């Protein structure tokens, strides 16, 4: 199916053509007709499904058909500045022939351009709740003529403690409006919000596993102190140009990026400490391909939308199984194929079990051929480096001589098949595959560990839909207060 049947305004359609979309994604096929018809819509969809265009195209259509100058007519509320920025860009690209303008409003950057945009009555405001409320309470902007409200990633807004702010914003909007709410999961709090916000909504649910069906998952059991070398070796063999690496903390993200950078490989990190400008620079570099490897924390990576991320590497396992689903959602997006590689130490066995439960499949263990898994933790290291190499957790990580869970005898009963019987070839670094001929210098360990070829190739599995979502993230405002209220979680450690 093409975009023609939606009967979008010609100038909106020309934007669709300009960005190169040929067929609508399932959330677009199902959602756009209802939004065009003016219905309130509850969209059960996660980032990566094409939900932004599902609401942006009908909004652009509405605004371009009946232009009004100097009036803010659509408000999109999103949990993070990255997501807000992406939505704003989507409006800019899809609406490039319409003359409709959008502006972002979020914390961490100067207020003046935002104040000017709000007071000018920009057509579409894409905002994070905290800064928007601040500016509204200072008397800037006027939301009394908003025709369409979008609450995006509502479950994340709940996770981040934004719902009270969202409700305060809702009070400033006219009752007579169209409301669209998108959420990957439906916790009780979001059900209440739906009841309060939407009138007679149509529910549109897409198979939330869809973007991840193109992802091949693999676990690499490894002692904590060998993770960096293993990653270096994988990066050499992949010769990959867009790899997203996740660490547990911002300190580890920064440090790992410094360690990996060099020798023709350009590596950046994004973490909560960076200014918005520095984050954007790193992201833009990654998008352009100038930065080959981006090391990020869960929080900083929220909403990263870079097409064609070839590999997601969980250098540290995530804190929750939901975070795993979110992390791997950064690859295999919009039908591109991707590999999700997770380093697991003996301490991670419990989380691995939980992740496998969510995926509904056992993830294949892999051993990299000719990589020396027996190099001990160097005796002489400064305290900081020792801590890093042990996994960054006091007392965690390396346990002298401990066997790496799952590495040996991998594959109880052999590798399982992809659920569909189809799928794509496994991760390129899979054991048993020849080393890439180009550019692969020997691992610094040198000594072959042996037995590599007996390890099975990774399987291709798709996560079950009902478990997506739930990542805890970072907001622009009152973070410390929110974290303590929510009792920490992944965000508290970033
Ligand atoms: P979203 O879920 O809105 O974050 O979109 C995820 C990615 O899919 C973005 O990079 C979009 O540009 C891309 N995308 C959205 N709709 C389509 C489409 N119909 N065809 C191809 N790519 C799309």
Confidence of residue 302 (pLDDT cuts 50, 70, 90): low
Domains and their CATH numbers in the chain: 4-206 (3.40.50.300), 215-375+384-392+447-463 (3.40.50.300)
| Rounded distance between C-alpha atoms, residue 251 and residue 269, angstroms | 10
pLDDT of residue 112: 97
pLDDT of residue 391: 78
Q: What is the mean pLDDT of residues 131-154?
A: 97
User: What is the model's pTM?
Assistant: 0.56
Q: Which residues pair with 126 in a beta bridge?
A: 76, 104
Mean model confidence pLDDT for the chain: 77
pLDDT of residue 322: 74
Give 32 Cα–ligand 1 centroid separation in angstroms.
Answer: 14
pLDDT of residue 440: 31
Q: Is 331 in the pocket of ligand 1 (CB under 6 A)?
A: no
| Rounded distance between C-alpha atoms, residue 462 and residue 475, angstroms | 30
Q: Is 51 in the pocket of ligand 1 (CB under 6 A)?
A: yes
Give yes or no for residue 301 having a pLDDT over 60: yes
CA distances to 162, 241, 477 from 483, in Å: 11, 35, 11
Give yes or no for residue 453 having a pLDDT over 70: no
Name the E strands within 276-358: 293-296, 311-314, 338-344
Q: What is the mean pLDDT of residues 418-435?
A: 32
pLDDT-above-90 percentage for the chain: 49
DSSP 349: H
| Rounded distance between C-alpha atoms, residue 88 and residue 467, angstroms | 28
Give yes or no for residue 11 having a pLDDT over 80: yes
Q: Is 46 in the pocket of ligand 1 (CB under 6 A)?
A: no
Q: Are 65 and 100 in contact (CB under 8 A)?
A: no
| 3-state SS class at 451 | coil
Name the E strands within 56-128: 74-77, 102-105, 124-127
Give 344 Cα–ligand 1 centroid separation in angstroms.
Answer: 31
From 50, 180, 209, the mutation candidate for ligand 1 (largest count of ligand atoms within 8 A of CB) is 50
| Rounded distance between C-alpha atoms, residue 74 and residue 152, angstroms | 13
Range of lowest pLDDT (61-75, 214-228, 255-269, 400-414) = 400-414
Q: Is 21 in the pocket of ligand 1 (CB under 6 A)?
A: yes
Give yes or no for residue 200 having a pLDDT over 80: yes
Q: What is the mean pLDDT of residues 173-177?
A: 96
DSSP per-residue codes, 437-478: SSS-PPPTT-S--S-GGGSPPPP-----GGG--------SS-
pLDDT of residue 373: 94
- Higher pLDDT pick, 429 / 262: 262
Give 30 Cα–ligand 1 centroid separation in angstroms.
Answer: 15
| 3-state SS class at 103 | strand
Confidence of residue 36 (pLDDT cuts 50, 70, 90): very high
Give 98 Cα–ligand 1 centroid separation in angstroms.
Answer: 20
Give yes or no for residue 406 having a pLDDT over 50: no
pLDDT of residue 94: 97
């Amino acid at each position: 199916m093409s975009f023609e049947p939606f009967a979008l305004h010609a100038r909106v359609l020309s934007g669709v053509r300009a960005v190169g979309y040929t067929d609508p994604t399932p959330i677009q096929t199902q959602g756009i007709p209802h939004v065009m018809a003016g219905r309130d819509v509850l969209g059960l969809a996660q980032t990566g499904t094409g939900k932004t265009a599902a609401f942006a195209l009908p909004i652009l259509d509405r605004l371009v058909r009946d232009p009004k100058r100097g009036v803010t007519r659509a408000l999109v509320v999103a949990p993070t500045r990255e997501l807000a920025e992406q939505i704003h860009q989507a409006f800019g690209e899809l609406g490039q022939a319409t003359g409709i303008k959008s502006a972002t409003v979020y914390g961490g950057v100067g207020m003046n351009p935002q104040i000017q945009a709000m007071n000018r009555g920009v057509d579409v405001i894409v905002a994070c709740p905290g800064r928007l409320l601040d500016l509204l309470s200072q008397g800037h902007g006027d939301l009394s003529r908003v025709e369409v409200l979008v609450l995006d990633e509502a479950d994340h807004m709940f996770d981040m403690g934004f719902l009270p702010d969202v409700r305060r914003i809702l009070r400033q909007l006219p009752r007579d409006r169209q409301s669209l709410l998108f959420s990957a999961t439906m916790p009780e709090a979001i059900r209440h919000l739906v009841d309060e916000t939407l009138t007679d909504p149509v529910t549109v649910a897409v198979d939330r596993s869809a973007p991840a069906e193109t992802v091949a998952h693999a676990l690499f059991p490894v002692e904590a102190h060998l993770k960096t070398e293993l990653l270096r070796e994988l990066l050499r063999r992949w010769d990959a140009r867009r790899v997203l690496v996740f660490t547990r903390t911002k300190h580890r993200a920064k440090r790992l990026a410094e360690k990996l950078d060099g020798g023709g490989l350009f590596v950046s990190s994004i973490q909560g400490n960076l200014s918005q400008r520095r984050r954007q620079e790193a992201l833009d570099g990654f998008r352009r391909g100038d930065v080959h490897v981006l090391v990020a924390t869960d929080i900083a990576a929220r909403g990263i939308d870079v097409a064609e991320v070839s590999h997601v590497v969980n250098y540290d396992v995530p804190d929750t199984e939901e975070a795993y689903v979110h992390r791997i959602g950064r690859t295999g997006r919009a039908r591109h194929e991707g590999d999700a590689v997770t380093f697991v130490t003996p301490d991670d066995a419990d989380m691995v079990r939980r992740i496998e439960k969510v995926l509904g499949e056992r993830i294949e263990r892999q051993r990299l051929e000719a990589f020396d898994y027996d190099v001990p933790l160097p005796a002489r290291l400064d305290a900081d480096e020792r801590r890093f190499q042990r996994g960054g957790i006091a007392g965690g990580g390396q346990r002298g001589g401990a066997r790496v869970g799952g590495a040996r005898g991998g594959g109880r009963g052999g590798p399982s098949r992809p659920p569909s019987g189809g799928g794509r070839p496994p991760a390129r670094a899979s054991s048993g595959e020849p080393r890439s001929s180009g550019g692969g210098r020997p691992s610094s360990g040198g000594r072959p560990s042996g037995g590599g070829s007996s390890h099975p190739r990774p399987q291709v599995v798709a996560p079950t839909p009902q478990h997506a979502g739930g990542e805890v993230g970072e907001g622009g405002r009152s973070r410390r207060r929110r974290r303590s209220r929510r009792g920490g979680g992944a965000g508290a450690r970033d």
